[in-house]
Chains A and B, each alone.
Chain A
Amino acid sequence: MIKKTLLTLLFFTGYLAANAQNSVLDVGIRMQKEIGLYYENGFTLNYSYKNLMPDKLYFGLTYVSSRFGTAINSNAIKQDNFLFSPAYYFRKNHLIRPFVRVDVGYFDADYGSKIFDVLPSKTLLLSSDLGVSVQTHCPLKLSASLGYNFITSNGTNNVPGTIYPVFYQLTLSWNLLNHKK
């Protein structure tokens, strides 16, 4: 259900993007690290619509996974994060722009054996992060943020145990729609 919703949002965002003239569609890679645990890397897409607080209000879709991080060639748990992230960027037309973001999403871990079916492997995600974005004069953007996961396991609450509270991320993206500053 949640995956379907995210896919629908992705198509909706793509539709808007295709019809935009001054909208922004940043597509990029995201590198994320849970402090004390895994590197989780993946892809991100952030869209700002020309008629809705353009270049201030963004809607993002992100997929990061340990499959592209710590779990490469290791026994680390393969876990996937699907995120929908509204964000607000301050200081429009500045080189360095602070932003605040809320992330809601879905987490799914693959433990690799049916013996672990007694343990929780899926959960909703809710986090928030604060960061800065460096917007160059070309379509390239670099952003970094520090975030906090509000939903984590305490060992007894049916939340998978490999979601850690504090994380940081680095995103490198390219605006596909509007190359003019």
Chain B
Amino acid sequence: MKKIFIAIVSLLLIAGCAKTPVVPASELGGGVIMDPSLTDPAAYRISVSQPNPTAAQAQIPVVICSHGYSASTFEWDEFRTWSNNTNKYYIDQVLLAGHGTTYAAFQASTWHDWESSIEDEYNLLVQEGYKNIDFAVSSTSCTLMLDMVHRGVFNNASTTVHIFLIDPIIIPSNKLLSVVGIVGSMLGYVTADNAPGEDVYYYHYRPQETLQQLENVLNTVRTELQEGITLPKNVYVKVYKSIKDPSADPISAVLVYNGIKTSSGGRIDLDFINSDIHVFTRLALVPNVTSLDRQNQVYAFTDITTRIFQ
């Protein structure tokens, strides 16, 4: 009996110990590699490179692009490349708080911080005078955007705000996230199976605190969708969802579609994409990319850049 008691106490002590990984300097989170938008923000954010737009520039659509949980601005680099320095619209890549930097900064961030990164950039662009601001966001940024819509951030928008949701996550594919609040502190962190090269752009070590934040925002927005979100008059939403997705369960599209009504009581637009890639618009470093994957990417980019003028 005494041995069992000692074993249990030992287990509890081990479980209670702080667990922090040693992140190699060659990986994001190791304190050496930083997201380039932190050192050269003007190359990523139109609010920095062009803070005083002319009347004509202010009319050009700005597409705010933000990424998913544990990712970085890299996730939308291909959209910028594909856009090929167009003068028809601007691209503004937002880095979510706590991302693209150190493990400790990531660990300390909350989902409210992540959301503030997008909202602050939107407010800054509005303040600078930009008239047409749209969003193309992926994964967890979709969840954050839906919360912003629910909170009424766009209720007073004077022109149409187009919101394009790429592989939104409401239900995670890994269902064990649902018990992270119970077992998280015993784990400390989890590791991600990143593809070769991805560790530079995506955190390999994911603190359990951030997983709890992820679980919290998913539950919050799922509840908001269950209660129903009605879009303001000037907000347009379209969802693009891979029919198979190892990160954001495809059923997330059902919850988003059924949970949102347009201001006139209609349905939002939804395209299922024949893909098994999470965030199918980012193909760089994805192994075994097919021609269909490339077609899907071009389809989404073309559709987004067409609809922002409608």
Contact = CB atoms under 8 A, between A and B. Distances in A.
A35 B178 contact: yes
Contacts of B259: 75
A161 B252 contact: yes
A162 B171 CA distance: 8
Interface string A21-54: 0000000000000111100000000000000000
Interface size range of chain A in the complex: 20 to 34
Interface in A57-106: 70, 74-77
A152 B226 CA distance: 22
Contacts, number: 87
B173 interface: yes
A163 B272 CA distance: 21
A77 B256 CA distance: 11
Interface string B257-281: 1110000000000101000100000
Contact of A161 (B250, B258, B272, B276): B250
B258 A75 contact: yes
Interface size range of chain B in the complex: 20 to 34
Interface of B: 171, 173-179, 182, 215, 219, 225-228, 243-255, 257-259, 270, 272, 276
B147 to A, nearest CB: 16
Contacts of B276: 156
A112 B250 CA distance: 15
A154 B193 CA distance: 15
Contacts of B171: 37, 161-162
Interface of A: 34-37, 70, 74-77, 111-113, 115-116, 118-119, 152-156, 160-166
25 contacts: A34-B178, A37-B178, A74-B227, A74-B228, A75-B255, A76-B226, A77-B258, A112-B258, A115-B272, A118-B272, A119-B250, A119-B251, A152-B175, A153-B175, A153-B249, A153-B251, A154-B175, A154-B246, A155-B244, A155-B248, A160-B251, A161-B250, A161-B251, A162-B171, A165-B179
Contacts of A118: 243, 272
A155 B176 CA distance: 13
A163 B251 CA distance: 11
A164 B246 contact: no
A179 B174 CA distance: 46
Contact of B176 (A75, A76, A165): A165
A155 B247 contact: yes
